[in-house]
Amino acid sequence: MMLGLPASTEIHKQLPKTALAHKFNLKPEERRLLDANVSRLELVNQISPQTIPALAVGPEVKGIYVLKVALKVHDYDERVARLILRLIPQKVVLCLAFEEEVQLAVFHEKLLVSSWRSVATYGDATSIKLEGVDLDAVWLGIKRQIADIEFEDGTEVTESTLSQALKTAEESEKLEKQITRLEKAMYAEKQPRRKFVLHREIQKLKAELQRNQFEEL
């Protein structure tokens, strides 16, 4: 089972790169990007009421597809993921595969990617949970899982709350990098006065980070 999804969702439909390039009239640089990074494309799952009768269509989402992208290189150019997601009009989850590792990607205002994991890990039935009773909720849940965002119990997950959580997480990541950079500078600094200034700046950033982390809960 791909990503632990039910066997009833499996479709296995090849998408030839040449056909994709021709259908969407790709520019030469886009063709080169696709050829340099991708060896094969295959639709492997369709999540819909036809494949999972217990799920209802949502006001916005009628079906979700998983597209397996066999990569030529591990450190692929993320522009190729954005290109593929832009070309395909359906709700699509990319399963980017290189040798024995996979990474998931989806678009929500920007490209969201999971960490790399072994194929064995993603074979676990808990790898992607289908959360909710309709496809709108399932789609939101998939994006939340890929972005590794957790909400406090009772918080309603919507496009808006997910966007805010992603923004807060991004701000927290920037603050952590700033703190790490300033701590290195402080430890290397010889002048006590300058060291004290850096220390105060670090404490200020840590307080801001703590506020952000509280908002994430």
123, pLDDT greater than 60: no
- Reported as a pLDDT band with limits 50, 70 and 90, residue 170 is confident
Is 106 domain-assigned?
yes
Of 17 and 173, the structure prediction assigns the larger pLDDT to 17
61-73 residue pLDDT tens = 999 999 999 999 9
pLDDT at 126: 42
Same domain, 80 and 127: yes
157, pLDDT greater than 90: no
- Reported as a pLDDT band with limits 50, 70 and 90, residue 2 is low
125, pLDDT greater than 50: no
Is 153 domain-assigned?
no
Is 184 domain-assigned?
yes
Same domain, 134 and 212: no
Q: Of 125, 147, 169, which residue is a domain's last?
A: 147
Same domain, 77 and 173: no
Number of domains present in the structure of the chain: 2
Percentage of the chain exceeding pLDDT 70: 92
Is 45 domain-assigned?
yes
pLDDT at 71: 97
Same domain, 18 and 122: yes
78, pLDDT greater than 60: yes
Domain span at 94: 2-147
158, pLDDT greater than 80: no
Same domain, 169 and 196: yes
Q: How many CA atoms lie within 13 A of 89 on its CB side?
A: 4
pLDDT at 1: 53
Same domain, 90 and 118: yes
Mean pLDDT, range 136-150, rounded to an integer: 90
Same domain, 59 and 132: yes
Choice among 104-108, 140-144, 160-164 with the minimum mean pLDDT: 160-164
Backbone phi and psi for residue 66, each to the nearest 5 degrees, phi listed first? -110, 125
Residues sharing a CB contact under 8 Å with residue 54, sequence separation 6 or more, in sequence order: 133
Is 56 domain-assigned?
yes
Same domain, 98 and 12: yes
Same domain, 172 and 126: no
pLDDT at 26: 93
Q: Is 146 exposed, middle or buried (0-12, 13-18, 19+ CB in 10 A)?
A: buried
Same domain, 121 and 210: no
Pairwise CA distance, residues 93 & 97, whole Å: 13
Is 124 domain-assigned?
yes
Mean pLDDT, range 4-10, rounded to an integer: 91
Mean pLDDT, range 166-171, rounded to an integer: 79
Is 92 domain-assigned?
yes
pLDDT at 96: 95
Is 152 domain-assigned?
no
H/E run at residue 53: none
Per-chain mean pLDDT for the chain: 88
